[in-house]
Amino acid sequence: MTGNLFYFLTFLTLFAAIGVVASKNPVYSVLFMILTFFALTGHYIMLNAQFLAAVNFIVYMGAIMVLFLFVIMFLNMREDTEQHKPMLSKIAAAIAGGILFVVMIAALKDVNTQLATTAVFDSQIGMVENLGKVLFRDYLLPFELASVLFLAAMAGAVMLGKREPGEQNRF
Amino acid sequence: MNDIPEVIRTIPLNYYLFFSTALFCIGIIGVLTRRNAIIIFMCIELMLNSVNLLLTAFSSYRSDPNGQIFVFFIMAVAAAEVAVGLAIIVMIYRNVRSTDINILNKLKW
CATH number of the CATH domain containing B13:
1.10.287.3510
Distance CA A74, CA A87 (A): 30
**Mutating which of A85, A121, A124 best tests the B interface, going by the most B Cβ atoms within 10 A?**
A121
What confidence score (pLDDT) does residue A78 get?
Answer: 66
Predicted structure pTM score:
0.89
Separation in Å, CA of A103 to nearest CA in chain B: 10
In a domain, B39, yes or no: yes
- Count chain A–chain B contacts defined by CB atoms under 8 A: 249
Model pLDDT for residues A130-168, shown as the tens digit of each residue: 899 999 999 999 999 999 999 999 999 999 888 777 665
Distance CA B36, CA B23 (A): 20
Residue-averaged pLDDT of chain A: 86
Contact A116 B10 (CB under 8 A): no
In a domain, B46, yes or no: yes
Q: Are A149 and B77 in contact (CB under 8 A)?
A: yes
| Structural domain for B42, as ranges | 6-108
User: Please, what are the domains in chain A?
Assistant: 1-78 (1.20.120.1200), 124-162 (no CATH)
Model pLDDT for residues B28-87, shown as the tens digit of each residue: 999 999 888 899 999 999 999 999 999 999 998 888 889 999 999 999 999 999 999 999
Contacts of A108 in chain B (CB under 8 A): 14, 17-18, 21
Contact A63 B79 (CB under 8 A): yes
Looking at the partner chain, which of B21, B27, B77 has a beta carbon nearest the beta carbon of A105?
B21
The reply to whether ipTM tops 0.95 is: no
DSSP three-state, residue A129 = helix
CB under 8 A, 24+ apart: contacts of A124-128: A124/B1, A124/B2, A125/B59, A125/B60, A125/B63, A125/B64, A125/B65, A125/B68, A126/A47, A126/A48, A126/A49, A126/A50, A126/A51, A126/A52, A126/B59, A126/B60, A126/B65, A126/B68, A127/A50, A127/A51, A128/A50, A128/A51
In a domain, B1, yes or no: no
* Overall domain count for chain B: 1
| Confidence band, pLDDT 50/70/90 cuts, at residue A62 | confident
In a domain, B49, yes or no: yes
- Which of A52, A40, A68 has the alpha carbon at shortest distance from B47? A40
* A39, pLDDT greater than 90: yes
Percent share of chain A, pLDDT over 90: 53
Q: Are B11 and B27 in contact (CB under 8 A)?
A: no
In a domain, B24, yes or no: yes
